[in-house]
Copies of this chain bind each other. A is one copy, B any other.
Amino acid sequence: MNTHANLDATFAALADPTRRAILARLASGEASVTELAEPFAMSQPAISKHLRVLEHAGLISRGRDAQRRPRRLEAKPLAEANDWLERYRQFWEQSFNRLDDLLDELKASEKKRGPQKRGHKK
């Protein structure tokens, strides 16, 4: 897959709360399909479908134990998705700084208007 298709598959796989929860579980160690299905009110076929989406995106792989076939988290697609978002870090940091500045200005102009409190006339 090229980078475009990689990112498409990764972001699409991340666009579901169950799949994000599965990845969170696998971050603490590999787990079998049965173990992965336990915390969810979901049938094993439903979980297997989510696992196929994650596997297609390269976000999980299968361990060596032929019986348990444990799934494990793969780092590369997560790092690539993060790399894409990191390009916009400057953008959101500037945007949040502008908001902070605006709030500071509002606070300063409130102060300037004097020590009187709302509803209390001198």
Please report A residues at the B interface, Cβ cutoff 8 Å. Answer: 4, 7-12, 14-17, 20, 23-24, 27, 73, 75-76, 78-79, 81-82, 84-89, 91-92, 95-96
Copies in the complex: 2
Let me know if A88 and B78 touch, CB within 8 A. yes
Q: Can you name the residue of chain B whose Cβ is closest to the Cβ of A86?
A: B82
> What 16 new A-B contacts, CB under 8 Å, besides A8-B15, A20-B84?
A4-B17, A7-B17, A8-B16, A11-B11, A11-B12, A11-B14, A11-B15, A14-B84, A15-B15, A23-B88, A27-B87, A79-B92, A79-B96, A82-B86, A82-B88, A82-B92
Let me know if B82 and A96 touch, CB within 8 A. no
With both chains docked as a complex, state the minimum distance between the C-beta of A44 and any C-beta of chain B, in angstroms: 23
Chain B contacts of A17 at CB under 8 A?
4, 7-8
Chain B contacts of A15 at CB under 8 A?
7-12, 15
With both chains docked as a complex, state the minimum distance between the C-beta of A96 and any C-beta of chain B, in angstroms: 7
Chain B contacts of A12 at CB under 8 A?
11-12, 15
Cα A95 to Cα B79 with chains together (Å): 11
